[in-house]
Structure 1
Amino acid sequence: MASINNIEMPESWRQNKQAGVERLHDFFKRHPDLSVRRPENCLSRMIASNPNNVKVFFENLRKILLRNPDVFKDGSRIYNLDKTATTTVQKTCKVVAVRGTKQVSKATSGERGTLATTCCIISASGNSLPPVMIFPRKKINPRMTKDLFPDVMKHFIKYSNSSKENPSLLVYDNHESHLSITTLNIAKKME
């Protein structure tokens, strides 16, 4: 945010793409009544799905649909995106074998496997775009997903053939990795 608004900041913020730990400590010294807490996922989702928020969502959706009634009439230009974890090594299933046999002819992987993030995008008419799979790196960067989501947006624009002349509506949750200025700018420009 500071970079986009041309606000002066330490060079370490530019290199690390975030403020340092010392900035957080200074903030807590100025605000001793605050602390870092882990939110409860279920509770926050239930609170977010209150009648007022649902009403606001559908009112915004109605405004968008009325803005381009011919484009959105059949649902083929309305998409939903959601992420899920996909394991790289599948669990083995049980097979029927002779009792007492140690060796069963079923090849399995000895790996533990890792989780890859899979983004699935489906239109309201039932068509799906090719999924986006993000595999973890050896040295995991906590900002990796946020840095890669602009690529997911470019993937969506490419495979949905979205443009200013052929608009699409992409609905997704407000996970922090989805809410970068870079992603929003790509969507606005239809790169």
Structure 2
Amino acid sequence: MSVTAETPCTAFRGDRRLAAGDAPSVARALRTALAAEPDGPLVLVFDDATGRAVDLDLRETGGELAAPHTPRGPGRPKLGVVAREVTLLPRHWDWLNAQPGGASVALRKLVDEARKEGEAKDRMRRAQEAAYCVMSALAGDRPGYEEAVRALYAADRLLFDGLTADWPADVRDYARALAADAFAVPGAVSGDPAAAG
């Protein structure tokens, strides 16, 4: 997974949180920690937005991670407009072209409406996925792990908090922070069927 200088990350060494912040800050903290204790426990770095493990290039000496080169494509990049291909049936194109402003305006409106309608559930799903990724890596062998995953996907905050209470403080607190939005939509249950059964 690619990391930019702005990517918010959290680094763990075993059960202990070493650093949190933007990628260059975390990389500097890791260089210092690894120099002080080269044979210590395994180091894992997570993207705070997705919960996925990321690799930081600790060889960087300029203090900044290079921004990935993004080639310019079609569209109006200065306006933030990107051209892509969409495949639709002729009746869909006919309907889109009949809309005020044409197909592009109609598609943008449809996407914006869909984003607004599903925003809370999408935020919940992203929180569940992020917390699950971190929990799998840091707490997969902990007592109550499987039950905590079920509670996460069932949006049962009280049960989740109870099951994670005895985990190491840094692991527990990070998992709870990532999972916070998973419990924000009352009555909405979204999730992984494998985790629920």
Please, what TM-score do these two structures have when normalized by structure 1? 0.23
Q: Which of the pair has more CA radius of gyration? A: 1
